[in-house]
Amino acid sequence: MEGKSQSSTHGEEFSRVLSKKDIFVLAFGAMVGWGWIIQSGYWIDEGGVTGSILAFVLGGSMVAVVGLVYGELASAMPFVGGEHVYSMRALGPLGSFVCTWSLILGYVGVVVFEVVALPSALAYIVPNFNAIPLYTVAGETVYGTWVLVGGTGAIVMTYLNYRGVRPAAQFQSILTLVISLAGVTLAIGAVANGQAPQTPPFAGAGMAGVFTVAIMTPFMFVGFDVIPQAAGEADVSPKFLGLFIAVSVSVAAAFYILVIWASGQAMPGPALVESPLPAAAAMEALFDSALVGRIMALAGLAGIMTSWNAFMLGASRATYALAESGMLPSSLAAVHPEYETPSVALGLIGGLSMFSPLFGEQMLVWIVNAGGLGIVVAWVLVVVSFFVLRYREPEMDRPLELPFGYGVGAVALGLTLFFVTLYLPGSASALSWPFEWGIVLVWVVLGAGMYACSDGEVSDNAATPESGPELLDD
């Protein structure tokens, strides 16, 4: 059916309404969210300007290689669900469930984080915002204003996605423009008024500082995989879809590097790290204006919304894909007859996020860290799926077929396995017990329970590209 993506099980349809621009801003907005506003000072303090830039070059290169693997798979199987489709075809139901359920943990973690990041940003902008203290969680006070603002934001964002992917993409375009203008303005201020502080190269930490920043880069680049999740709603050619994954990673890396350099021209790392919003503090210093600094904080709000929006889209499509294949209760595969969105999956994710401000900031840090492990595990299984399909189905139509594919895959596999080790006991960045590992354990038990409550008949339609929709050519 021209212009439509048909669900293989229930007959509902998603409209192919996402243009090239929509696809780009969804991925870029997901990657360049709130993190650069609050983390730039930490990066510069740990690794210096030069070391932090090197870390993002290394990290961006790593993720770009993984993105190339995604690109080939997305061009061959451009259907809603992304990773679920690839792993289903290559690894079967169990491997696919582990891959997709791990990915959903990461996506939901980001959504939950943004619900609390919103009142956090407002606390910087609005005087006396922290009001009506309720209780404490892990030493962090939970304020009534945070609960109200975060919960309201969750309702609004869920409703925006519920009404259709096109309004959500338009919203993303506007906010991504705001973020881009903020970054450019920061760079202009650095060129016109910046003066690099006299600090030692690599902040005196050497390569140790570089790697301290580098291990954070995978989480900063999470978001490129939203493109495969929305593939069934993209009105672009399969080859273009695959290429855009690597392009979006490169542009995001350039943006991060620009922000690091510009911030480093404004203030030394120790001064930046003392600010709750280092990028806003750098902007204020460069233009000698508190008002300009607050405008940068508003760009941070835009970053929150773009990540929130993109990961709400990605999480709901991944949940829909599992349910549509019979691995989760079939009700989660319901598609709204008018808005053509996975309405029940969106409602579930939005409902969970509404209550997240009740647990305080520290609880959400644990969720994000645990979610990072889920994302990297999904990456590993996607790369394994790439190898399996290359070996088992060499004749598969691959509009974007990577040259030296096995070599690229080997590099991607090595990098993703390295990322996994960063979360394991013995690593300096290992997950903590009982909180973060506890979240992982709860997620595993929840997944097993929902799998057991599913319809019990796993459909293999997602594993068969021939059964899926045909993308329109450019």
- pLDDT at residue 470, as a whole number: 35
pTM of the model: 0.77
Reply yes or no on whether the pLDDT at 197 is more than 60. Answer: yes
- Cβ count near 397 (within 10 Å): 12
Per residue in 54-81, pLDDT tens?
889 888 888 888 888 988 898 888 776 6
Domains held by the chain: number: 1
469, part of any domain: no
Instruction: Estimate the crossing angle of helix 405-421 against helix 360-392, to 10 degrees.
Output: 150
The Cβ-side half-sphere exposure at 207, using a 13 Å CA radius, reads 1
472, part of any domain: no
Reply yes or no on whether the pLDDT at 419 is more than 70. Answer: yes
Q: State the average pLDDT for the chain.
A: 79
**Span of 51-55, 220-224, 449-453 with lowest mean pLDDT:** 220-224
Q: What average pLDDT score do residues 110-135 get?
A: 84
Q: What is the CATH number of the domain that holds 197?
A: 1.20.1740.10
Q: What average pLDDT score do residues 264-278 get?
A: 81
464, part of any domain: no
454, part of any domain: yes
- pLDDT at residue 335, as a whole number: 85
DSSP category for residue 335: -
Q: What average pLDDT score do residues 237-243 get?
A: 69
Identify the residue with better confidence: 124 or 353.
Answer: 353
Res. 165 pLDDT band, cuts 50 70 90? low
323, part of any domain: yes
DSSP category for residue 469: P
335, part of any domain: yes
7, part of any domain: no
Domain ranges, residue 178: 14-458
The residue among 384, 326, 285, 467 whose CA lies nearest residue 86 is: 384
471, part of any domain: no
Q: Please give the angle made by the CA atoms of 451, 456 and 458, to the nearest 5 degrees.
A: 90
